[in-house]
Amino acid sequence: MNGYQLDPTILREYDIRGVIDKTLTIDGAYAIGRAFGTMVVENGGRTVCVGYDGRLSSPDLEKAVVDGLTACGLSAIRIGLGPTPMLYFAVNIVPADAGIMISGSHNPPEYNGFKMMLGKAPFYGEDILRLGEIAAAGEYAEGTGDSSEYPVHDKYVARLAADYDGKRPLKVAWDAGNGSAGDAMRDLCARLPGTHILLNEKIDGTFPAHHPDPTVPECLEQLQEAVRSENCDFGLAFDGDGDRIGAVDGQGRILWGDQLMILLASDVLKDIPGATIIADVKASQTLFDEVARMGGEPLMWRTGHSLIKAKMAETKAPLAGEMSGHIFFADKYYGYDDGLYAAVRLLNHVANQSRSLG
């Protein structure tokens, strides 16, 4: 069987990412589906959940990946359009043996890519390099698989809302940045008490309002203005594929990842005294000191969502976070990074205090 040489620049440490029709093509997406599917088969798997984000190129890439998976003899479970954490959620609840998300994350519109899970574990590093080698050699599993549609949007939103336990209504501004979290954000807010002001909730792969990256201050200016003009308690923002969160307080001041972690860790440590709380090396010493002061066990770890998830599983830490806004809850949740779920837990924190953020 003929192999396909993937552009080496797209095979990154934690995911696959490239420029459409330049470094990443439809044929490449098919080869990625075949190679990943082969590794799933080798691992004894039979089912793979497939999701995609709101980029203009994503539906075609999704179809090519599904074709690649089914050619390996696998069943592809197509969960549809949504944020990356919805794909992680689907793998957990179906349950499926693997998952692949077509997403360009927070990158400009001309980019796209893939994030993968094998079993419940992240797929990264050596796994991604081996995927490239399998594609180049064309050494694929063979079979006749099938595909089916299994929309999980409603179940995902219901699961997010289930952990809300705020004791007072809040006024909150939300900015999806036209990213793939928009529909879930809208439907989640409809389930929550209080007043919710939605910005850029329409999924649009051209990102007309601003770049979808909540760690870039310029990308938060619209949210800051809404919080100030509407006298909100605080504001929330999400990246292009919804696995990262950004926030501003009631005065519009940016709250960075380590500041959010202090607030969230305080709630976790009330329920699980002495728990390990993980943060990446970019976090401030203040975070580690505060975790220790609150009775937790602070643990500094390497940056990278796959590395953090693996360390959480190893240490059984209930909470981890990165300065980039990846927040991982294993406390009451599944241990992956989910911006909307982190938002619910932050809402709980503020709604159970007598005063608002800032």
Q: Catalytic residue positions?
A: 105
Q: Which residues pair with 81 in a beta bridge?
A: 52
Map the chain to HEC letters: CCCCCCCHHHECCCCEEEEECCCECHHHHHHHHHHHHHHHHHCCCCEEEEEECCCCCHHHHHHHHHHHHHCECCEEEEEEECCHHHHHHHHHHCCCCEEEEECCCCCCCCEEEEEEEECCEECCCHHHHHHHHHHHHCCCCCECCEEEECCCHHHHHHHHHHCCCCCCCCEEEEECCCCCCHHHHHHHHHHCCCEEEEECCCCCCCCCCCCCCCCCHHHHHHHHHHHHHCCCCEEEEECCCCCEEEEECCCCCEECHHHHHHHHHHHHHHHCCCCEEEEECCCCHHHHHHHHHCCCEEEEECCCHHHHHHHHHHHCCCEEECCCCEEEECCCCCCCECHHHHHHHHHHHHHCCCCCCC
CA-to-CA separations, 326 to 201, 261, 275, in angstroms, rounded: 20, 10, 19
Q: How many CB atoms are located within 10 Å of the residue 237 CB?
A: 32
Spatial CA neighbour of 292 closest among 305, 301, 279: 279
Packed helices 339-351 and 182-191: angle between N→C axes, nearest 10 degrees: 30
Q: Residues 103, 59: contact at Cβ < 8 Å?
A: no
Residue with tokens 């992956």: 336
